[in-house]
Amino acid sequence: MSDFDVDLFVIGGGSGGVRAARIAAQHGARVMLAEEYRLGGTCVIRGCVPKKLLVYAARFHGEFEDAAGFGWTVPHATFDWKTLIANKDKEIGRLETVYGTLLEKSGVKVFKSRATLTDAHTVQVANGDRVKAAHVLISTGGTPSYGDKIPGVEHAISSNEAFHLPELPRRVVIQGGGYIAVEFAGIFAGLGAHVTLVYRGENILRGFDDEVRQHLRMDMEKHGIRVVTGCTITAIEHRGAHYSVHLSSGNHIPADKVMFATGRVPNVAKLGLKEAGVEIAKNGGVAVDEYSRTTAKSIYAVGDVTNRINLTPVAIREGHAFADTVFGGKPTIVDHVNVPTAVFSEPEVGAVGLTETEARAKLQQTDVYKAMFRPLKATLSGRDTTVLVKLIVDGETDRVVGCHIVGEGAAEMVQLAAVAIKMRATKADFDATMALHPTIAEELVTMRTRSATYAREAAE
C-alpha cells in the first residue's frame, strides 16, 4: 500500500491544472485538485472567454456603421451593458459547470478551497486537513499587478473587475500598452465610451513587430481612441462622482473609470514554496526544467505561474505534457517555439514567429514581404482602415520565419499560417499555393516582390 493519500494533488483549477488532473486520472492516477475561486481559472472566468464575448459585442458598433454602404438602414442602435454582462455571466457559469463535470467524470476529487504546501509531499486545504501526495502540481496562474503604488491607485480597477462593472463608464482611462490594455481600449470604445490609453513606453504592444505596433496605433487613433505614450499616471484623485487622472506630463484627464493593465505576476506568494524546497526563477515564476519539474523532485509547475509564455493553449499543453511524463510513461517536452498569438483589438492582430527586428538580429539575411491595402469590404462601407500583411523570410534558406497580420480575421489567418511555419514551409511553398479569391489571406501567397532585404550587421 502506498504511503500517500493520492498520486497527484493539483493546486489551481485553471487551464493547466484541469488538463493535467484529467489526463493524469485517465492514466490511472488517484487525483485531487483544489481551486480557491472558480473552476476554469483565468481564461474561462475572467480572461480569454469573457473578453472575446465583450469583443464581439463591441464590434457590432462598426458593423452597424458599415452596413449603410451596403444599402442597409439600421435604426439608431442602442446598447445595454447589463444585458451583455448578464448573458456573459450565464455562459461563464455554464462553462464552469462543464469543467466541474469533466473533472468529476474523470474521477478527480475537487476541493473548493485554497491549498498550500507544508512540505514537498503535503498539501493543506483551508479547513486545516492535510493530504499526502506522491506528486504535487502547482498551477496557480497569475494576478494583475498595479506596478508602482501611486496615490489613489485603490480607485483603479484591473481586468478582473472590468468584467463586472455595474454600468458602462462614459470616460475610461487605461494605463498599459500590452494586449489586455489594447483589447479593453477597443472594447470600451466600441461600446461607446471615450477611451484614453496611457503607456509609459514609446509605443503600444512591446514585443510585437514594429510595423504592426505602428499600424494598430494609427487605426486605433483613427477610430477615436486617444493613445498617450511616454507617459504614466501619477495620481488618481476622487472628485465627486468621477476621477481626475494626473499624468506625468502634467496634464489631467477626467474619467469615470480608471483601469490598470500593467502586467500580471505569477501567483507564488504564501504557497509554502520555501517549505517545500521550490525555488523562484529570475522571471518571478516558479523555476522549472523542460519537463516542468521544480527544484523539489516531487513537485511540478505549469502555466502562468512559471511565467514562460502566458497563454491558455500553452498552459494546457504543459499540463498535458506533465501528466504524460509523470503518469503516462511518455516523457514529453513542450515546444515553446513559434507559438501563435493574437490581440483582439480593433482591428485585430495575429502574429507567429520572428518579428523583423528579431530576424535581422538573428539571421544572415532577412527578406521582408509586405502588403498594405484597403480591404474590399471597406470600399463600400467607406471605413477608413487598411490591412497589413507581412512575411519574414530567412534569405539563406527561403524559410518563412514570421507572419504578422493586422486586420479583420487576423487571428484566424495566423493560426493556419502557424501550421505552415511549424512545418518549415518556404516562401516558395507559400508561392506555390493557389490563392483563394477574394480574401485578405490570399495576400499571404501572392506577395512576389520583396519590400526589403537586410544582411545581418556584423557584431561589434
Ligand X SMILES: Cc1cc2nc3c(=O)[nH]c(=O)nc-3n(C[C@H](O)[C@H](O)[C@H](O)COP(=O)(O)OP(=O)(O)OC[C@H]3O[C@@H](n4cnc5c(N)ncnc54)[C@H](O)[C@@H]3O)c2cc1C
Distance CA 259, CA 163 (A): 12
Residues marked as catalytic: 437
Q: Is 401 helix (H, G, I), strand (E, B) or coil?
A: strand
- Residues constituting the chain: 460
What are the helix (H) ranges across 288-347? 312-327
Q: Which residues contact 49 (CB under 8 A, 6 or more apart)?
A: 43, 91, 92, 95
Q: Kindly state the smallest distance separating residue 343's Cβ from ligand X, in Å.
A: 8
Q: Kindly state the smallest distance separating residue 37's Cβ from ligand X, in Å.
A: 4
Sign of CA dihedral 167, 255, 53, 260: negative
Q: Kindly state the smallest distance separating residue 269's Cβ from ligand X, in Å.
A: 9
Q: Which residues contact 130 (CB under 8 A, 6 or more apart)?
A: 118, 122, 123, 124
Neighbours of 436 (CB within 10 A): 10
Question: Which residue number, 342 or 391, has a Cβ lying nearer to ligand X?
Answer: 342
Question: Which residue number, 169 or 178, has a Cβ lying nearer to ligand X?
Answer: 178
Distance CA 314, CA 351 (A): 15
Q: Kindly state the smallest distance separating residue 391's Cβ from ligand X, in Å.
A: 23
Q: Kindly state the smallest distance separating residue 130's Cβ from ligand X, in Å.
A: 14
Q: Please answer whether residues 285 and 307 qualify as being in contact, where contact means their C-beta atoms are separated by less than 8 angstroms.
A: yes
Of residues 5, 4, 12, 7, the one with CA closest to residue 113:
12
* Grid coordinates given for 346: 480593433
Chain-centroid distance of CA 231 in Å reads 24
* Grid coordinates given for 357: 527586428
Question: Which residue number, 37 or 79, has a Cβ lying nearer to ligand X?
Answer: 37
Q: Kindly state the smallest distance separating residue 264's Cβ from ligand X, in Å.
A: 6
Q: Kindly state the smallest distance separating residue 41's Cβ from ligand X, in Å.
A: 3
Binding site for ligand X (CB under 6 A): 11-17, 34-37, 41-43, 47-48, 51, 114-116, 139-141, 159, 180, 267, 271, 303-305, 310-313, 315
Question: Which residue number, 89 or 396, has a Cβ lying nearer to ligand X?
Answer: 89
Neighbours of 293 (CB within 10 A): 18
Question: Which residue number, 12 or 395, has a Cβ lying nearer to ligand X?
Answer: 12
Question: Which residue number, 38 or 360, has a Cβ lying nearer to ligand X?
Answer: 38
CA dihedral 405, 406, 411, 416 (to 10 degrees): -20
Phi first, then psi, for residue 186 (nearest 5°) are -65, -40
Q: Kindly state the smallest distance separating residue 260's Cβ from ligand X, in Å.
A: 12
Neighbours of 145 (CB within 10 A): 14
Q: Which residues of 349-375 are buried (b: 16+ CB within 10 A; e: fewer)?
A: bbbbbbbbebbbeebeebbbbbbeeeb
Question: Which residue number, 253 or 349, has a Cβ lying nearer to ligand X?
Answer: 349
Report DSSP letters for 74-88, one per residue.
-------HHHHHHHH
Of residues 53, 18, 110, 84, the one with CA closest to residue 302:
18
Question: Which residue number, 340 or 375, has a Cβ lying nearer to ligand X?
Answer: 340
